[in-house]
Chains A and B, each alone.
Chain A
Amino acid sequence: MALVKLTIDGLPVEVEAGTTILRAAEKLGIHIPTLCYLEDIHEFGACRVCVVEVEGARTLQAACVTPVREGMVVRTNTPAVRRARMTTVELILSDHHTECPTCVRNLNCELQSLAESMGIRENRFAGARTVNPVDSSSAAIVRDPNKCILCRRCVSICEKVQGVKAIGPVGRGFETVIGPAFGDQLGDTVCVNCGQCILVCPTGALYERDSTEEVWAALADPDRHVVFQTAPATRVALGETYGLPPGSIVTGKMVAAIRRLGADTVFDTDFAADLTIMEEGHELIQRLTKGGTLPMITSCSPGWIKFIEHFYPDLLPNLSTCKSPQQMFGAVIKTYYAEKVGLDPAKIYHVSVMPCTAKKFECKRPEMRDSGLVDVDAALTTRELGRMLKEAGIVFDELPEEPYDDPLGESTGAAVIFGATGGVMEAALRTAYEVVTKKTLPRVEFEAVRGLEGVKEASVDLDGTEVRVAVAHGLANAKKVLDKVRAGEGDWHFIEIMACPGGCIGGGGQPIPTNLEVRQKRIEGIYTADERMTIRKSHENPSIIALYKEFLGEPLGHKSHELLHTTYTPRGSYLPRREKAAD
């Protein structure tokens, strides 16, 4: 590609033609502030925070969308540029519900940081503000239009990365609101609760529905036995809420911290991930050998489940009937565990810590009560746990590393990799291979299904039987795979789909920022955690073996079907509200 020479702030730089001024400046280590810009997803030039002077241009140019030209002379730090940027941010603030100290994004807000870095000390443009009701109709996500700055990042991520298109700009000018069509509430739409919009929101206009209050109440109740489970992806991300580098493995400190909050028992969702592999691995083998709908598709990701229910209900028979690890665990805790330790299941309050906002919706689904009670009482995001620890005054750094409780705290490397895209597939293959071939895997790693490529494909030889697999993460990528399945192409036996880009480590409940670089670091953390485990295959987990021996019988057995498997509900893709009302 042709190279272009230009100068930025007097420094010469050479970049490929087509590069934006913003990227060229980055190469020189010059930081141009941005607000609406989201690399590769939302390059729109709307907010005008990134304006720069370009010699010869009539007006200031938006650096995020202006391509470089040969001989271009750019200045990023002149009085005119600083004044224009500052005025822009002041105008945005003038129609923003500024309540920083009590905002969920206080100290982690892009608008706040910009105002701070620009030295804005007064509100020059105080005047009329648009006031709209806060939408808390969704089990997972709250929309506060009064804090929205109309950057439209959420619209872009919902459309381009997730292919859901639940929200868009409504109206015009000062009256514009980002929201669902027809003034509907988010909870009545095709929103799949993935929470990717929360991760990209620069302010506090989108956030998870709070579950901390009810968890605090349960922790304070002496009659309640509070059991926690922590998802694989939380252990490589929670540290970020305390300023640790992304991908830091903080499993032991997280367990210790949850005990300090007052939890009676801390278990590992990884145990339930191993259980999922037992059930799902055997389900795959059964579908392959005895006939059944193929390709079989994984069912761990609740955002993905709501997506298929809305948009591909015809493919529901392809879904594994396995509940997600969160829900398997919920059912096991209020039956097997309660019985084992002699507790009244009605006294157990079960909290999950998840990298996910959709888990809040999942645990409230009416079919998730197979223990006879609500199997999981509350689902906290990683961010919410971080907030609770701070509220409790916990100094994370000073905590010891503590192990999970027995017996449902024991897990394998196969379980921890559930947190990364391709992980469920790899874990299932580790078990399926050994169950089918009755041989030991020469090497447990299946690199072909790892990494951040949108759709990954591989073929695995199970002792003469070829199993063709595909892995997709991000629902727009899932669409590509599903359209092929619908058309009878693709020729796969087994497909893993995770709603969020990068898998659960990039989930909508994870610390902010969650971007490509952070996702990569967390994935590295996940595979390091896998390597550190002594046991790396789910079927070798001694506690899993004991659970089957003492309680469940065998994978896909009667008890498993009762507690660990579920059914799905087709939902309308255009008129969910109307169709729901017609039921």
Chain B
Amino acid sequence: MAREHEGAVDLGRVDEIVARHKGREGALLPVLREVQDAVGYLPQEALERVALGLGLSLSQVYGVATFYSLLYTKPKGKYTVRVCESAPCHVQGAQEVIDTLVRELGISFGETTPDGLFTLEKVSCLGVCGVAPAVMIGDRVYGNLTPETVVAVLQEYR
């Protein structure tokens, strides 16, 4: 069965992360975070190595990997675009910003652009209601957005 990005995963790096945490209680979550940082997401091969290394079953590891919204089992774009869908952003016109992003990127939520640059996601709140509507790209937060300014912001990353 063909998998995306097969062969690209550095399993030695995964083993190294597992070895550092092995034997500690609650090791799984920190291991998954570090593996994701190193690999970009949590591919099946990596999760299998984590399970094997920590002596857990695949179902346990996969259950945790799919439970947390900040852990990804599918490849992600270089930048994650997180759109706030909470009430304050909504009343300040988030929907137009969202519609613009969907149109501009040509993808829906949870998807990645074909050039591998952007992944689009919804989040519950970015904690910056004072500058609603807000969007987070990578580690940076952008506020007071309009359909026009959000396009300009995207251009900075292209």
Which residues of A line the B interface, CB within 8 A? Answer: 155, 159, 165-172, 180-182, 574-575, 581
Contacts and interface: CB of A to CB of B under 8 A. Distances in A.
B62 interface: yes
A165 B48 contact: no
Contacts of A181: 47, 57-59, 61-63
Contacts of B1: 581
A168 B67 contact: no
Contacts of A168: 57, 59-60, 62-63
A167 B51 contact: no
Interface in B24-71: 44, 47-48, 51-52, 57-63, 66-69
A180 B59 contact: yes
Contacts of B48: 574-575
Contact of A182 (B44, B52, B68): B44
B59 A172 contact: no
Nearest to B67: A172
A171 B51 contact: no
Nearest to B61: A181
Contacts of B57: 159, 165-166, 168, 181
B58 A574 contact: yes
Given A165-B60, A166-B57, A182-B47, 4 more contacts: A165-B57, A168-B62, A169-B67, A170-B66
B52 A166 contact: no
A243 B75 CA distance: 54
A574 B66 contact: no
A181 B64 CA distance: 10
A167 B58 CA distance: 9
A489 B45 CA distance: 35
Contacts of B52: 574
A165 B68 CA distance: 20
18 contacts: A165-B59, A165-B60, A167-B59, A168-B59, A168-B62, A170-B63, A171-B66, A172-B67, A181-B57, A181-B58, A181-B59, A181-B61, A181-B62, A181-B63, A182-B62, A574-B51, A574-B58, A581-B1
Contacts of A166: 57, 59
Nearest to B3: A182
Given A165-B57, A182-B44, A574-B52, A172 B62 contact: no
A582 to B, nearest CB: 12
Contacts of A180: 58-59
Nearest to B73: A182
Q: Which 3 A-B pairs have the closest CB atoms?
A: A168-B59, A165-B57, A181-B62
A575 B44 CA distance: 11
A155 B62 CA distance: 14
A125 B52 CA distance: 43
Interface in B56-114: 57-63, 66-69
Q: Among B47, B57, B63, find the residue whose CB has the most chain A CB atoms closer than 10 A.
A: B57
Contacts of B68: 172
A7 to B, nearest CB: 40
Contacts of A155: 59
A172 B51 contact: no
Nearest to B44: A182
A200 B52 CA distance: 29
B63 A169 contact: yes
A237 to B, nearest CB: 30
Contacts of A182: 44, 47, 58, 62
Contacts of B67: 169, 171-172
Contacts of A171: 66-67
Nearest to A575: B48
A170 B58 contact: no
A567 B58 CA distance: 28
A171 B73 CA distance: 11
Contacts of B58: 165, 180-182, 574
A169 B58 CA distance: 11
Contacts of B51: 574
B124 to A, nearest CB: 12
A574 B58 CA distance: 7
